[in-house]
């Protein structure tokens, strides 16, 4: 079994191998910290011994406003088209564009369950939506922060014993990296006794 520090070093080497010198100069090199080293405060688990980290509600609210705006836009185009104030081909193009925008927002927004899922931590496993990974199958956990454009994005890295790495974007979750690390370390170290 490879120690967590070796897994993290190898992951950073793999991630930076494809970066150009310019990207490295501007700080695109990922910073990866073991969750064990990130824990700053003690974690108090809820009474049911399960922690659920849900996506931020503000993202869903924002998506609803975008869809409402697009529906209003499409209906106003339809009314204008029916009143024959704009030519039929232009009106149909505008309605088609509105439909495409609505489709894109629904596909990539908070309404897509494949992109928007909860993280559930228990003493036996970590659940990412409907997918469960047992703690015994995880070699190490880490938090990675990486500059992407003007923003710094955070990811949860799960290094599995089968040499794969699960990379989860934390931007959509309503928690800090330190809080998540504390919860992960609590549950990783609270394995139920085998009877």
Is residue 68 a contact partner of residue 178, using CB atoms and an 8 Å limit? no
83-96 mean pLDDT: 81
Using one digit for the tens of pLDDT, what is the confidence trace for 4-62? 778 888 888 887 787 777 777 777 778 888 887 776 556 676 767 788 888 777 777 87
The Cα-based distances of 127 to 52, 103, 124 in angstroms read 9, 28, 10
Q: Are 181 and 38 in contact (CB under 8 A)?
A: yes
Same domain, residue pair 94 and 148: no
Q: Same domain, yes or no, for 51 and 121? A: yes
Which among 121, 105, 109, 134 has a CA at the least distance from the CA of 54?
121
Residue 193 lies in a domain: no
Confidence class for position 126, pLDDT limits 50, 70, 90: very high
Do 162 and 144 fall into the same domain? Answer: yes
**Residue 26 DSSP one-character state:** T
**Whether residues 170 and 130 fall in one domain:** yes
CA distance between the termini of the chain: 25
> Would 19 be classed as within a structural domain?
yes
Q: Are 167 and 179 within one domain?
A: yes
pLDDT tens profile 143-186: 988 877 777 888 899 999 898 998 888 877 878 888 888 888 88
> Which of 129, 107, 156, 105 minimizes the C-alpha distance to 55?
129
51 plus 123 within the same structural domain: yes
pLDDT at 135 over 70: yes
| Number of structural domains in the chain | 2
Q: Which two tokens stand for residue 142?
A: 């880490």
Tell me, yes or no, whether 163 and 175 share the same domain. yes
Instruction: Give residue 46's domain range.
Output: 4-55+117-188
Q: Are residues 174 and 81 in the same domain?
A: no
* One domain for residues 64 and 99: yes
User: Of 28-37, 83-92, 135-144, which has the strongest mean pLDDT?
Assistant: 135-144
Residue 195 has pLDDT above 50, yes or no: no
Same domain, 49 and 69: no
Residues 61 and 51 both lie in one domain = no
Q: Are residues 51 and 64 in the same domain?
A: no
Residue 81, both tokens: 């088209």
194 occurs within a structural domain: no
């Amino acid at each position: 079994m490879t120690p967590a520090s070796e897994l993290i070093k190898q992951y950073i080497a793999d991630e930076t191998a494809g970066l150009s010198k310019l990207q490295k100069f501007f700080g695109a090199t990922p910073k990866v910290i073991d969750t064990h080293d990130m824990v700053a405060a003690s974690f108090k688990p809820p009474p049911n011994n399960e922690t659920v980290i849900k996506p931020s509600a503000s993202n869903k609210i924002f998506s609803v406003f975008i869809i409402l705006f697009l529906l209003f836009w499409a209906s106003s185009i339809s009314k204008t088209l029916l009143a024959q104030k704009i030519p039929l081909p232009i009106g149909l193009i505008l309605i088609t564009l509105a439909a495409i925008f609505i489709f894109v927002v629904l596909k990539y927004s908070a309404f897509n369950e494949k992109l928007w899922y909860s993280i559930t931590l228990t003493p036996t496993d970590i659940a990412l939506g409907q997918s469960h990974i047992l703690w015994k199958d995880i070699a190490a956990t880490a938090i990675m922060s990486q500059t992407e454009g003007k923003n710094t994005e955070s990811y949860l890295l799960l290094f599995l014993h089968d040499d794969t790495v699960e990379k989860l974007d934390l931007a959509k979750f309503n928690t800090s990296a330190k809080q998540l690390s504390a919860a992960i370390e609590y549950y990783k170290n609270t394995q139920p006794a085998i009877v």
